[in-house]
């Protein structure tokens, strides 16, 4: 039997409870796509060692914001909670993964960090900065609440097809200025960037929604994880 590609999943941290956390849907999606989930606690000085174990990487989302100082802005009141230890670890891990051409999928905040490490910026708050609302849906969070319009000719379109894709929406920040070499692969009907990719790499994709959560409503979302696992498998050869 061919070994499953090892896919790293970054963990969230509940600092008040002294524990790491991860929604089971991430693990389920990696397994369903044929990968082996490897959970990654925030040991910043071990990022290179973790990377040596992995065939692919998922930067997961969470209820926190990328520090605006990382993209050259002062924090405004509308910016939310940061988790500096998590972000520092993920930034080191992501930069090393991109440098080594390791397949990467960024989900929600993971997409935002992918843009930032390429020199891009974020809206600290869509309502305050751009006058846009409707991207923080109420519970249940795994139900599609709007469409993402997938651009033809992109890697994302090759995975899920071009045109409208129903997505869930649980964010108050978003990509503002795409970073160097960042291609916009999908937008919401109001223009908010919903997906980005790095065409100079074999697989480097970020999506603003949570495909692992909404897959039960549209099976196309699992193709993102299947694409990551296949790219990880190809990278082994």
Residues belonging to the active site: 108, 210, 212
Dist. CA 184–CA 32, nearest whole Å: 27
Find the largest Cα–Cα distance for the chain.
53
Say what angle helices 222-236 and 24-32 make with each other, to 10 degrees. Answer: 60
* Cα dihedral 64, 70, 72, 74 sign: positive
Residue 116's contacts (CB-CB under 8 Å, 6 or more residues apart) are 66, 70, 71, 122, 179
Q: Give the single-character DSSP code of 45.
A: G
Kindly list the distances between the CA atom of residue 177 and the CA atoms of 105, 121, 123, 181, in Å, as whole numbers in the listed order: 19, 5, 9, 12
Cβ atoms of 186 and 156 within 8 Å: the answer is yes
Beta bridge partners of 205: 105, 197
Q: Give the single-character DSSP code of 4.
A: P
């Amino acid at each position: 039997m061919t070994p499953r590609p090892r896919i790293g999943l970054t963990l969230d941290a509940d600092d008040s409870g002294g524990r790491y956390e991860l929604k089971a849907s991430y693990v389920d999606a990696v397994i369903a796509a044929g990968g082996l989930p490897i959970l990654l606690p925030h040991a910043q000085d071990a990022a290179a060692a973790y990377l040596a174990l992995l065939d692919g990487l998922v930067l997961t989302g969470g209820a926190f914001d990328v520090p605006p100082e990382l993209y050259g802005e002062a924090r405004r009141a509308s910016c939310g909670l940061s988790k500096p230890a998590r972000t520092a670890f993920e930034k080191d891990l992501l930069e090393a993964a991109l440098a080594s051409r390791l397949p990467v999928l960024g989900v929600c905040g993971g997409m935002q960090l992918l843009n930032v490490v390429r020199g891009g910026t974020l809206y600290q708050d869509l309502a305050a900065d751009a006058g846009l609302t409707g991207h923080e849906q109420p519970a249940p969070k795994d139900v599609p609440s709007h469409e993402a319009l997938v651009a033809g000719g992109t890697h994302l379109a090759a995975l899920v097809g071009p045109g409208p894709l129903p997505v869930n929406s649980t964010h108050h920040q978003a990509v503002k200025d795409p970073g160097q070499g960042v291609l916009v692969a999908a937008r919401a009907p109001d223009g908010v960037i919903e997906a980005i990719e790095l065409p100079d790499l074999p697989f480097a994709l970020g999506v603003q929604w949570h495909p692992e959560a909404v897959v039960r409503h549209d099976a196309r979302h699992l193709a993102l994880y299947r694409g990551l696992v296949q790219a990880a498998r190809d990278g082994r050869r």
